[in-house]
Amino acid sequence: MAVAKTKLKLFPSKLKQLDIDGQRALAMTAEELNTRVRNAQVMPFDNGTMQNENTDVDDTKAANGKVTIITTSPQARRLYFHPEYDFQTINNPNAKGNWYEDWLPGGTKQKDAAKIFGQFYKRLIG
Q: What pLDDT is recorded for position 3?
A: 86
Lowest-confidence region among 1-5, 7-11, 54-58, 62-66: 1-5
- The pLDDT tens digits for 71-110 are 999 999 999 999 999 999 999 999 999 999 999 999 999 9
User: What CA–CA distances, in Å, run from 80 to 31, 35, 56, 63?
Assistant: 20, 18, 16, 28
For residue 9, the Cα-to-chain-centroid distance in whole angstroms is 34
3-state secondary structure of 38: helix
In the chain, domain spans: 16-125
* Rounded (10°) CA dihedral 64, 36, 110, 97: 100
Rounded CA-CA distance 103/122 in Å is: 22
Q: What pLDDT is recorded for position 124?
A: 97
Rounded CA-CA distance 115/12 in Å is: 27
- The pLDDT tens digits for 35-69 are 999 999 999 999 999 999 999 999 999 999 999 99
Is the pTM value of this prediction over 0.75? Answer: yes
Rounded CA-CA distance 63/59 in Å is: 9
| Residue 117 phi, psi dihedral angles, 5° rounding | -60, -45
Q: What pLDDT is recorded for position 2?
A: 81
